[in-house]
Amino acid sequence: VFCVECGAEGREMIGSLCRPCYEEKHVWAKMPAHVDVTLCAHCSSALLGDTWKDVQSVQEAIEGALELAIVLPEGGAISDLTFELDEKDPRNMNVRARVSFILKGMAFEREVATLARIKRGSCKECSKKMGSYYEAILQVRGPERRMSEADEEQIEQLVRSRVGSMREHSREVFVSKVERVKGGLDFYLSTSPSARAIARELQESRCAEYKESSSLWGRRGGEELSRMTFLIRLPCFSNGDVVEYQGRDYYVRNMSRNMVHTVDVASGEPKSLKLKGADEFALACPRAKILQAIVLTESDSEIQVLNPEGMTPLDLKKPANFERKGEHIRLVKTRLGTYPLSDSW
């Protein structure tokens, strides 16, 4: 067997050519004279081909761009790529790359050189953000068109932390802006499902009223685009408050969807109340106004405390299964009466 090209005999043959002749004719690697490496100016992503990808370093972005720019004979696949950079200036670098590749089941290695040019761009998500892009508004409102600063802070923190964890799975989720409006907060969110998930969570955990609506705001390639609005109306109470409901006072332990889990403060009986309309409940005593009173004496059915308002003894009937952990108890005064709160509630 001899090579049809050079006539050599007894060499490793690839088809009708000896290996050196085959390599000379068919094995090559090419690289364009410049390779543009586009980095997002606002985040750590790079444009590779036509998609933006998160990268850990400029080095990684260059590597990705080189891999895409190297041209190999048909059927060739890169198995390894190493390169050295020689920085001409911060935006232009000479690159010497060594590329290993597999072609027709055999391994080859070639050296290529190019100039990498670093460009600044703006990725899809950052462009949207810069343009205050949003697909949904999450409107959170307090009761009676009011929301306390503490509640606002708590809600904003919750929304930002939920969006933060969603971003770990999808870079598309972000808060475009937050607006303080009369009665509450408006969150402009980049995606509807993220806004819906947070709205549902508030509905569940805060017994809030939930409404959603959509409006058409444009078209893209014949497709109708709509913006969603999720309205969450918080009830006038929260965990730890005392509410009045149908002529009795209840201590709110926690809430789930449309259910308020309470204890009747007079009898000590646990009760789950269905929330049909928020106006059926009145705030009898917010948690911030619950008093502390020192215990003077205690019998099976009664407890005597020092009234913190007036410093006179106060005799109170104990609710069922009343428990106290120390010398002080929580004391609540409402329109309907004065009650000791059990430490077990």
Among the listed residues 103, 123, 155, 265, the single contact to Zn ion using CB under 5 A: 123
Q: Contact with Zn ion (CB under 5 A): which of 3, 35, 189, 341?
A: 3
Q: How far is the CB of 134 from Zn ion (least distance, A)?
A: 17
- DSSP letter at 274 equals E
Within a 13 Å sphere around the CA of 321, how many CA atoms are in the beta-carbon half? 9
d(CA 256, CA 263): 15
Stretch that binds Zn ion, among 1-9, 79-87, 245-253, 266-274 (CB under 5 A): 1-9
Using CB under 5 A as the binding rule, whether residue 55 contacts Zn ion is answered as no
- Backbone torsions φ then ψ of 171, nearest 5 degrees: -65, -10
23 is a contact residue toward Zn ion (CB under 5 A): no
Share in percent of the chain as helix, strand, coil (round to 5): 20, 45, 30
Confirm or reject binding of residue 18 to Zn ion (CB under 5 A): yes
Q: Does 156 bind Zn ion (CB under 5 A)?
A: no
Q: Closer to Zn ion at the Cβ: 8 or 291? A: 8
Nearer to Zn ion, 49 or 313 (CB): 49
Q: Which of 6, 106, 113, 130 binds Zn ion (CB under 5 A)?
A: 6
User: What gap in Å lies between CA 97 and CA 298, rounded to an integer?
Assistant: 86
Site residue total, Zn ion (CB under 5 A): 12
Place of tokens 């005392």: 242
CA–CA gap between residue 274 and residue 258 (Å, rounded): 6
Is residue 40 near Zn ion by the rule CB under 5 A? yes
Q: Does 173 bind Zn ion (CB under 5 A)?
A: no
Q: Is 42 in the site for Zn ion (CB under 5 A)?
A: yes
Q: Does 248 bind Zn ion (CB under 5 A)?
A: no
How far apart, in whole angstroms, are the C-alpha atoms of residue 211 and residue 146? Answer: 18
* Complex with Zn ion: residue 14 or 178, whichever CB lies closer: 14
Q: How far is the CB of 207 from Zn ion (least distance, A)?
A: 39
* Cα–Cα dist 162/120, whole Å: 30
Q: Which amino acid is at 76?
A: G
Report in angstroms how near the CB of residue 132 gets to Zn ion at its nearest.
15
| Residue 331 exposed, middle or buried by CB count within 10 Å (0-12, 13-18, 19+) | buried
Residues that bind Zn ion (CB under 5 A): 3, 5-6, 8, 18, 21, 40, 42-43, 45, 123, 126
